[in-house]
Structure 1
Amino acid sequence: MPAEFSDLSRLDRVKYYTANLFLRALIGGFKLIPYPQRIRAMGWLVARVMAPLAGFDRRVRDNLILTCPDLAESEVRHLCRAVPNNAGRSLIELYSGQSFIDHATAAEIGGPGLAALQEAREAGRPVILMTGHFGNYDAARAKLISMGFEMGALYRRMANPYFNEHYLRTISTIGTPLFEQGRRGMIEMVRHLKQGGIIAIVGDLHVQEGVDLDFFGQPAITSIVPAELALKQDAALIPVYAIRKPDGLNFQIVMHEPIAHSDPVTMTQEINDGLEDLIRDHMDQWFWIHRRWKSA
């Protein structure tokens, strides 16, 4: 959990403030570039300059060695560049405002989960949309909101308190309400669900209080709270993902079959399995930079 601002030392405050100035200046400079060139340029910068300096290449390689040991070395080298490229594109897309929203709302959307979402809305039934750090998950949120599916979203506060304020304002432009991960955010989110609302949750991060489930053949600690909420609130649990198209600028939104209600572990494992299948078809679009397999 990120530290409270009041708990930071003077040195930490200086470091965070300086980093915030650098990041905002970088983003502001890129926003002066026309949208298509902006997205490609940020992808290149993160992949070729920032990722090697930050050690992301090693993180990607270690995760691939752990989970895909038979992957050819040439493919590993390719993913060490392609994965941070997608991350860089996603970052600057988020800060591109209406230009990004226009690309997201123009995306094709389909899959059995779309009809299930429409049925739930007509019945006044709450919905939990599960997604992951794949493609650009905010594209799916923007697309569905443009179709009239008003939704809340659970977000994780950034460690840098200065940049977090800017980040929160930015993601709010796509849609609100937003619920911060934590006790208060959970209370607000449950209240939203009880009113028949829709919420979106990114569920593919290591969560200390989670359960060891399988992901790419390795134990990955995963939160089962979304499934528990779905059972308790009788909410439809629907995985949704935004696949980046080969042009690198546009998306296809896919909504998987709703997860059948059973028990939280079984339901969450099914979400993991569906995401893994999707990643195997688009290895470069998942955030292999995360420390997803800490327990391994």
Structure 2
Amino acid sequence: MLPLDWVVGMIVLAGLKLVRSLGPDRASDLGGFVAQRIGRFIKANRIGHANLKAAFPEKSEAEIQAILRGVWDNLGRTACEYACMDDLWDFDPTRPNEGRVVTDDVPLYEALRDDGKPAIFFAAHLGNWEMPAVAAAAHGLDMTALYRMPNNRFVARAIQKIRGRTMGKMVASGGAGVLQLARELERDNHIGMLIDQHLARGVDVTFFGRPAKANPTAAKLAREFDCPVHGARVIRLPNNRFRLEATEEIVLPRDAEGRIDVKASMQVMTDVVEAWVREHPEQWLWLHRRWR
């Protein structure tokens, strides 16, 4: 009998090849169409509904359902766009607002690329959350991003191959991954990570007025290396377009000794993420148990 992980892996790989053959626009549209129609039957839909009701008590049921449909649309699009990631990025600096990807932040990326100093980027599961890493690599930053390794080893290899073509260096989350990020900062390189998911051993923060746990890695590394921290996000626009935005350096709180305060800094970063989510709630991943 064939191993289950091999069977699952081959199905996923075949799906990726099929989706890739559609091209980025049709793949994205297909993903959004399918996810919107099956999402309401999945258990995670109830989690998303409860999260939205708690975060936006002032919104009507119709408004909550509209956001939730958008959440599934964004998730389906992001999943299918993954197969076409190397075709998705078409930014042309000579026409910065005419392609699929638009941004006004090229000077910031170029300054970070050329200043010879380390820096940390944080992002959230917003829009197509893989694209900030693609943007950094495309603008010449020596970037290493932290990611969660899929459990299926065949899928993991395929994902690594896709990411390797477009996103620079990737390290799997965990203790070894954090050590690798520290080594990159020692070499005056740049690192990136998503900071908006629950971590049981994380620090306490307030997110949408409710207590939550946040992964403190970004703040701990900023404290250790005393390096600048920037936020990065991608906003999904109509007609399969994206706006890339990166913040200027975020001023982080410091303790009595003048060192970056980890807990307070994670609250500052979480506040940035909350502001992003409030702008485009339909583009955030409400489907996981962020509050526990």
Match of 2:89 among 71, 91, 101: 101
Alpha-carbon distance change, 45 to 206 in structure 1, aligned in 2, over 3 angstroms: same
State the partner residue of 1:141.
Answer: 133
SS in 2 for 1:152: strand
Equivalent-residue separation in structure 2 for 1:97 and 1:139 (angstroms):
8
Q: How far did residue 230 of structure 1 move?
A: 0.8
Q: How far did residue 117 of structure 1 move?
A: 5.2
Match of 2:249 among 252, 258, 261: 258
Q: How far did residue 259 of structure 1 move?
A: 2.0
Q: How far did residue 115 of structure 1 move?
A: 5.6
SS in 2 for 1:137: coil
Alpha-carbon distance change, 76 to 187 in structure 1, aligned in 2, over 3 angstroms: same
What code does the residue aligned with 2:68 have?
Answer: C
State the partner residue of 1:22.
Answer: 11
- How much identity, in percent, do the aligned residues show? 25
Alpha-carbon distance change, 62 to 29 in structure 1, aligned in 2, over 3 angstroms: same
Deviations 1:217-276 (A, max 9, x none): 1111001221110121121110110111122x1111111232223211121111111111
Equivalent-residue separation in structure 2 for 1:45 and 1:117 (angstroms):
36
State the partner residue of 1:195.
Answer: 187
Equivalent-residue separation in structure 1 for 2:182 and 2:227 (angstroms):
11
Alpha-carbon distance change, 159 to 66 in structure 1, aligned in 2, over 3 angstroms: farther
State the partner residue of 1:225.
Answer: 217
Deviations 1:85-106 (A, max 9, x none): 1011111111114321226985
Deviations 1:197-235 (A, max 9, x none): 001111111112201201111111001221110121121
Q: Does 1:68 align with 2:93?
A: no
Q: Does 1:212 align with 2:210?
A: no
CA contact (8 A) 1:104 1:250 kept: no
CA contact (8 A) 1:151 1:177 kept: yes
What code does the residue aligned with 1:276 have?
Answer: E
CA contact (8 A) 1:259 1:267 kept: no
Equivalent-residue separation in structure 2 for 1:89 and 1:204 (angstroms):
20
Match of 1:87 among 57, 71, 75: 75
CA contact (8 A) 1:104 1:143 kept: no
Equivalent positions of 1:143-162 (< 5 A) are 143-162=135-154
What code does the residue aligned with 1:278 have?
Answer: W
Alpha-carbon distance change, 116 to 250 in structure 1, aligned in 2, over 3 angstroms: closer
CA contact (8 A) 2:137 2:168 kept: no
RMSD: 2.2
CA contact (8 A) 2:134 2:166 kept: yes
What code does the residue aligned with 1:198 have?
Answer: H
Q: Does 1:283 align with 2:285?
A: no
Deviations 1:142-173 (A, max 9, x none): 22322222211111112333322222222221
Choose between structure 1 and 2: higher helix proportion.
1
Deviation larger for 116-125 or 31-40: 116-125
CA contact (8 A) 2:31 2:77 kept: yes
CA contact (8 A) 2:119 2:189 kept: yes
Equivalent-residue separation in structure 2 for 1:85 and 1:78 (angstroms):
11
What code does the residue aligned with 2:251 have?
Answer: A
TM-score (norm 1): 0.86
Match of 2:267 among 254, 266, 269: 269
Question: Structure 1: where are the runs of 5+ without partners?
Answer: 1-9
State the partner residue of 2:33.
Answer: 44
Equivalent-residue separation in structure 1 for 2:65 and 2:92 (angstroms):
30
Deviation larger for 214-223 or 63-72: 63-72
